[in-house]
Amino acid sequence: MGTRTSPQRLTAKGQATRDRIVAAAAKLMFERGVAGTSTEDVLKAAGVTSPSQLYHYFGSKKALVQAVITYQTEDVLSSQRPLLSQLDSFGALEAWRDAIVEAQRAGNCEGGCPIGSLSVELSDQDPEARTEIMAGYSQWESAIRDGLIAMRTRGELSEDADADFLALALLTALQGGLLMTQARRDTVALEAVLDAMIDRIRCHATA
């Protein structure tokens, strides 16, 4: 199968082809799951005619999956980054909550979280994939924690507000809410759990 070409050595055309393969694979794996997506499916969706091209860039389907995890992590976080980078007030937390809910409504409450979907399918089967997924979750959690720390530093949250605990709890609540949204096909559970967690954080608000 060969080894994956180092990204630093790719030509502009080669990088574009690699990016197109990853984007196609990410879309198919989100819709069908990793197991339900063949390399042939990916090549067809990406408009790549030769299987050797896929193995030239990735070496194996497993390496492609790793690239998809990275892609989905960046896609999820980049869409939230403008809000996550300023998640340091109750108004900002509520705006973030509203944006997440609206995104689910816009997607007809289908699909759940791309990172969460990969986690469900791969965490018990692929330790390397689980490590990459956890790295993505850690980035997400860190952004939430940074905002809570900023609020505590400014005196808007009391000193006993555990930013690590609250950030992890909020992200966990979000993931559960997204799973329920996917099953229920509505945002009621997602709204409820995010509101409950923001209220929990509000318990630490100073007068």
Q: Which pLDDT tens digit goes with each residue over 69-120?
A: 999 999 999 989 899 999 999 999 999 999 999 999 999 999 899 999 999 9
Residue 207's pLDDT is: 74
Mean of per-residue pLDDT scores for the chain = 92
SS3 59: coil
DSSP conformational letter for 206:
-
Average of per-residue pLDDT across 134-143: 95
Two tokens, residue 187: 């945002």
Residue 4's pLDDT is: 41
Average of per-residue pLDDT across 29-40: 93
Q: How many CB atoms lie within 10 A of CB 8?
A: 5
The identity of residue 56, as a single letter, is: H
Does the structure show a pLDDT above 50 at 7? no
Return the percentage of the chain with pLDDT > 70, whole number.
96
Return the percentage of the chain with pLDDT > 90, whole number.
82
At 157, phi and psi to the nearest 5? -115, 145
Domains and CATH numbers, the chain: 1-59 (1.10.10), 62-202 (1.10.357.10)
The torsion angle over the Cα atoms of residues 2, 23, 81 and 105, rounded to 10 degrees, is: -140
DSSP-based helix, strand, coil % in the chain, nearest 5:
75, 0, 25
Banded model confidence at residue 198, pLDDT cuts 50, 70, 90: very high
Two tokens, residue 206: 């100073």
Banded model confidence at residue 168, pLDDT cuts 50, 70, 90: very high
Q: How many helices (H) and strands (E) does the chain have?
A: 9, 0
The torsion angle over the Cα atoms of residues 99, 101, 103 and 108, rounded to 10 degrees, is: -160
Banded model confidence at residue 64, pLDDT cuts 50, 70, 90: very high
What is this structure's pTM? 0.86
Instruction: Specify which residues 157 forms β-bridges with.
Output: 205
